[in-house]
Structure 1
Amino acid sequence: MVFVWLTAFFLVVALIVLVIYQLMCLADLEFDYINPFDSSSRINKVVMPEFILQALLSVLFLLSGHWAMFLLSVPMVYYNYTLYQRRQHLVDVTEIFNQLGREKKRRLFKIVSLIVLLFLSLFWMIWSVLSEEDE
């Protein structure tokens, strides 16, 4: 049981790092430290790994029977899926300045939801360790 929570914890931390990296690339672009092509290519390299890690996290919760955490992580997977289906998951080099505010808000929303998942997984991990000690 603790293995599931440790795996979930590290997956969520990896997701947070990927999204923070994307936010840093957007901030560098906004402050003109990096050109649009470099910023777009850096962001686009980590978008699919982020989507895959998020899906793995949801599958982990589903297979381990943690339904509440699964239900909390599924909306982000669905959101990522709809972005992918609409071909809006990659940042366009020519439109990045027009979409900068929206892209930053999208990533900030992801950060907030991932932080909630992180604290909930920490809570459940500690609770499961304490309940195993009582047995």
Structure 2
Amino acid sequence: MDNFFCWLLSFLLLCCVFCILGYQLICLTDLETDNINPYETAARVNQVIVPEFIVHGVLCSSYLFSGHWFLFLLSLPYLYYNYRLYSRNGHTIYVAEIYTDLNKEKKRRQHKFHYLVSMMTISIFGIIWRNIDNI
């Protein structure tokens, strides 16, 4: 039963990161369509970047401590990428450069989004597989 709760926790953490990235993409798309000004976009996106990094760090540590080595190894490059962004101060969006970096920022988040979709698929498969084993 513990393994089921580990899968459920990982699924919920993935959903949380998924929602944070979706929010960032929506803010950047609103800026692209000129529905929001660059100051608000930068403030909104910068406000949720560090919580995204923290939730993903908790997700990686939950994979490590629950013994899901394959998922831990799959999520390790993403964690390293987030660490490099944070250590080089490349995680924030600057208002003065927001229009020049808009496509790059959107693509960065879309790549993260696609990565999380694959991790979510693996997590759902693990939950179903664990429930089949218990029946």
TM over 0.5: yes
Bin for the TM-score computed over the shorter chain: over 0.9
1:70-113 Cα offsets, whole Å, 9 max, x none, are 01111111000000011000111110000001000000000000
Q: How many residue pairs get matched?
A: 133
> What does residue 130 of structure 1 align with?
132
Q: Report sequence identity in percent.
A: 44
The amino acid across from 1:39 in the alignment is T
Q: What aligned pairs does 1:1-135 form with structure 2 within 5 A after superposition?
A: 1-133=3-135
Give the whole-Å Cα distance in 2 for the aligned partners of 1:106 and 1:33. Answer: 21
Aligned structure 1 segments of 4 or more residues deviating by more than 6 angstroms: none
- Return 5+ residue gaps in structure 1 as ranges: none
CA deviation string 1:40-68 (max 9, x = no partner): 00000100000000010000000000001
- Structure 1 distance, partners of 2:127, 2:66, is 13
Q: Unpaired runs of 5+ in structure 2?
A: none
Please give the TM-score of this superposition, normalised by the length of structure 2: 0.97
